[in-house]
Amino acid sequence: MEIFTAAGFYALLQVMAIDLVLAGDNAVVIGLAAAGLPKELRGKAILVGIIAATVLRIAFAAITTQLLAITGLLLAGGILLLWVCWKMWRELQAGHAQRDQEGTEALTNTDLNADGTIAGSVPRKTFGQAAWQIIVADVSMSLDNVLAVAGAARDHPTVLVIGLAMSIALMGLAASYIARLLNRWHWIAYVGLAIILYVALKMMWEGWHEVQPAIVSAGLLG
């Protein structure tokens, strides 16, 4: 198994960091979307969100690895992942500590800031509004997660399978714990961002070398 090689183990470490950060971020977003609901509906919305994220990860995994084998799509995937990095960087720089805390409070049903309320400053919403926000976020973030994992483990099928299974397990079993971890230790998000940036640049580099011969043969590049 390639995980027992130096390259495979290195890829596995990258995948673990990516899963930790993106699964945790996804969980916080789900919690934030559900935070505006009454307590009796909040847990139901969070459960729906986690199940949807799990199903979407499986669905995207089934097609993403096949698509990345098509010439040109590895480059496109790298560019998309680079945009994900830019979005993450802007969010980290904006200092969304309050947002993250509200989402984590809703997710864990715990008053973390001891203000007497759980996600009390979040605007109220209907279950339908919360469910729609969760589904939209799940589609985007599940694709980001699968794309990053597939890019990091592209040459190591075993690592890819382990990474996707880990991603699903983190969302399904440890979402609230991961959210609290990221809320307390913000530097973990920066480490994950650096790894995702590396994966994006690597995908773009390899993708460019895939499409360059076709561009040259078409006479578009000297």
79-127 confidence digits (pLDDT tens): 888 888 888 788 767 656 666 777 777 777 776 667 767 766 667 778 8
Binned at pLDDT 50, 70 and 90, residue 38 comes out as confident
Task: Please state, in angstroms and rounded to a whole number, the distance separating the CA atoms of residues 30 and 48.
Answer: 9
Listed in sequence order, the residues at least 6 apart from 8 whose beta carbon sits closer than 8 Å to its beta carbon are 1, 2, 156, 158, 159
How many domains does one find in the chain?
Answer: 1
32 is a domain residue: yes
- The structure's pTM equals 0.74
177 is a domain residue: yes
Task: Please state, in angstroms and rounded to a whole number, the distance separating the CA atoms of residues 44 and 52.
Answer: 12
35 is a domain residue: yes
**Mean residue pLDDT across the chain:** 79
140 is a domain residue: yes
The three-point CA angle 97-100-104 to 5° equals 135
Task: Please state, in angstroms and rounded to a whole number, the distance separating the CA atoms of residues 75 and 68.
Answer: 9
Greatest mean pLDDT among 13-17, 111-115, 185-189 lies in: 13-17
222 is a domain residue: no
Q: Which domain holds residue 151?
A: 2-217
Task: Please state, in angstroms and rounded to a whole number, the distance separating the CA atoms of residues 206 and 93.
Answer: 30
56 is a domain residue: yes
